[in-house]
Amino acid sequence: MANILSFLIPQEKKFFPLFDKAAENLVAISTLLEKMVNTNDPEQRKLMIREIERMEHHGDTICHEIFNELNSTFITPFDREDIHALNTALDDIIDYVHGSAKRIDLYQINELTPAIKKLSELILQASIELDVAVRELRNMKKPGKMKEACVRINSIENHADDIFDTAIARLFEEEKDAIKVIKMKEVLSNLETATDMCEDAANVIETIIVKYA
Amino acid sequence: MANILSFLIPQEKKFFPLFDKAAENLVAISTLLEKMVNTNDPEQRKLMIREIERMEHHGDTICHEIFNELNSTFITPFDREDIHALNTALDDIIDYVHGSAKRIDLYQINELTPAIKKLSELILQASIELDVAVRELRNMKKPGKMKEACVRINSIENHADDIFDTAIARLFEEEKDAIKVIKMKEVLSNLETATDMCEDAANVIETIIVKYA
Amino acid sequence: MANILSFLIPQEKKFFPLFDKAAENLVAISTLLEKMVNTNDPEQRKLMIREIERMEHHGDTICHEIFNELNSTFITPFDREDIHALNTALDDIIDYVHGSAKRIDLYQINELTPAIKKLSELILQASIELDVAVRELRNMKKPGKMKEACVRINSIENHADDIFDTAIARLFEEEKDAIKVIKMKEVLSNLETATDMCEDAANVIETIIVKYA
């Protein structure tokens, strides 16, 4: 039905549901990451990591759908470059969430530290804020909610920076096995970069607001 | 002769041969990298690394030529920003190829592992695809070949990701000398980033297609 | 007084003093970094690091001022995207300067090596060149000084690359404690990335010149 009547929807409005889908997938993958790092059973964790992988592939599909739509649409709700940039930014976050989970698996990290848990929680929070902001893209003339979400994402990213720095300092003080330091540092770094990418996505949204609100 | 008659060439068409030159140099440097990591004689390798360095400088010269042309040309075949971005992206790949070779030299890495060889091969493949795509920029109304090359570059980059991840996991399992882990991890990481940069260049070409095809 | 009469200033000219302020803060933080790494007293260094932190917050405030001005100004002296990009680039440099100082503190690095001192000096030099270029943005029709500053920043960045590479090679040869290698490598890497970000800022300025000069 949706397909049959889709020619009635102005083409440029097709982007909003696609971005909604991307943001929804982001919240889903971040929710699962946060659950995974709080799971003690290694077998359960492995299953969750497989599911995170599946969601990452799903994210790739959505990302390509948006690019294809961009290829075939003449009028877009905002600049093509910004649609491109937002699409890429959302995809990047998912890549780092997946990258973090993959490294926990590959490096056989069993000690899921408070910093890993806290950073995963912050990624989830930032993802939820991005979901709010992305859903408001259709209300460009009332950018208040979007702006607030972007401000909160910036503050979440600052918080993640602090958590990361403190965790790294402690790691160097307490861990004497250099190989373990390298592994843990990389997992923490991937998690922290995921929050940086959330900030990048928020910056794209701020740029769109600058141009259109 | 070429110089004497160059005023007869529409200015905007001067970019195509310049980008051809940049892509040609990229294929040359990637070919040499792939050859170098498959060479057993350390003296031969050292000579090849010097040659890679020379090619990197040549790449810088081409990069500046393109920027200078951009400075002095009013009408360009596509957006100035995209010419800038493509130029930068091609230069970045060459920088990472050079960076990988330089680290093999500086860190005195003599064990050129299968992962190093495979990643170098993938960089060469992606460079060849970029060369195809860049040469097709002048046929913007038939973007089929360019699109196909970009799709293949994306898949090469995914392949490189897998090779990298597996190599890193194995490195942590088998290598107990942390300093060696750090060195090898950085060489692998530079090679893998070179394929990321190939993907970035492909993304710029996809953006140009989005705008002009 | 300035506030009372500010409505007399054409709105688009308000960006120049704001960017001046950002560049001034960059020179101030880089000057302090260079002084800090040349200070032997650990207590003095700690005080300087606190002051660098304060300057980084001040930089954030200026960065937000520029974004707010961008939000409320219809006519800008150059493309909104470029103002956004330059603002972000200047902020990024300050972040890496701060990040370098913070790591020296967190990792309790007491041996401030010649490479650390030299890289800090190069960051200061590049910051001074950026300050020159930023102050010339208002003279877009005479881009000579800006171009020269950008060329010098590129050459400073190349120099920093060499210093970094040599320092890393030496580190691997001489330091057998892998944990110390990781710490020192990261401080050097942050310093070197600060010079990369200076080059990014110079690239934005070059893009603006391409469009407007």
The pLDDT tens digits of the residues spanning C132-152 come to: 999 999 999 999 999 999 999
Mean pLDDT of A50-54: 97
pLDDT at residue number A154:
93
pLDDT-based confidence at residue A115 (cuts at 50, 70, 90): very high
Pairs of CB atoms within 8 A across A/C: 30
pTM score, two decimals? Answer: 0.81
Chain A CB within 8 Å of residue C75 CB: no
Q: Chain B window 157-186: which residues touch A at a Cβ cutoff of 8 Å?
A: 165, 168-169, 172, 176, 178, 181-182, 185
pLDDT-based confidence at residue C1 (cuts at 50, 70, 90): very low
Query: Which of B80, B182, B183 comes nearest C210 by C-beta?
Result: B80
* Model confidence pLDDT, tens digit, residues C10-20: 666 789 999 99
Q: Which two tokens stand for residue C140?
A: 């877009």
Residues 6+ apart with CB under 8 A from B150: B129, B133, B202, B203, B205, B206, B209
Contact (CB, 8 A) for A107 and B172: yes
Contact A209 C70 (CB under 8 A): no
Q: Which two tokens stand for residue C55?
A: 């300057």
Nearest CA in chain A to B173: A107
Query: Which of B80, B88, B107 comes nearest C172 by C-beta?
Result: B107
Contact C165 B102 (CB under 8 A): yes
- Report whether pLDDT(C2) > 70: no
Q: Which two tokens stand for residue B12?
A: 């905007």
pLDDT-based confidence at residue A26 (cuts at 50, 70, 90): very high
Mean pLDDT of A32-52: 96
Would you give the DSSP letter of residue B159?
H
Contact A165 C102 (CB under 8 A): yes
Contact B178 A183 (CB under 8 A): no
C-alpha–C-alpha distance, residues B51 and B33, integer Å = 10
Pick out chain B residues at pLDDT < 70: 1-12
Of residues C33, C52, C54, the one with CA closest to residue C125: C33
Query: Which of A169, A176, A210 comes nearest C70 by C-beta?
Result: A210
Query: Which of A181, A203, A211 comes nearest C182 by C-beta?
Result: A181
C-alpha–C-alpha distance, residues B32 and B10, integer Å = 35
Contact C176 B178 (CB under 8 A): no
Domains located in chain B, CATH noted:
14-212 (1.20.58.220)
* Model confidence pLDDT, tens digit, residues C24-37: 999 999 999 999 99
Contact (CB, 8 A) for C197 and C124: no
- Any chains having at least 3 CB pairs less than 8 A from chain C are A, B
pLDDT-based confidence at residue A72 (cuts at 50, 70, 90): confident
pLDDT at residue number C4:
59
Contact A182 C179 (CB under 8 A): no
Contact A107 B185 (CB under 8 A): no
pLDDT mean across residues, chain A: 91
Residue A88: list chain B partners with CB under 8 A: 203
- As a whole number of angstroms, the longest Cα–Cα distance in chain B is 64
- Report whether pLDDT(A194) > 90: yes
* Model confidence pLDDT, tens digit, residues B84-142: 889 999 999 999 999 999 999 989 898 999 999 999 999 999 999 999 999 999 999 99
Contact (CB, 8 A) for C141 and C212: no
* Model confidence pLDDT, tens digit, residues C109-140: 989 999 999 999 999 999 999 999 999 999 99
Residue C182: list chain A partners with CB under 8 A: 172, 178, 181-182, 185
Nearest CA in chain B to C210: B71
C-alpha–C-alpha distance, residues C59 and B136, integer Å = 45
pLDDT-based confidence at residue C5 (cuts at 50, 70, 90): low
Residues in chain C: 213
Contact (CB, 8 A) for B181 and B175: yes
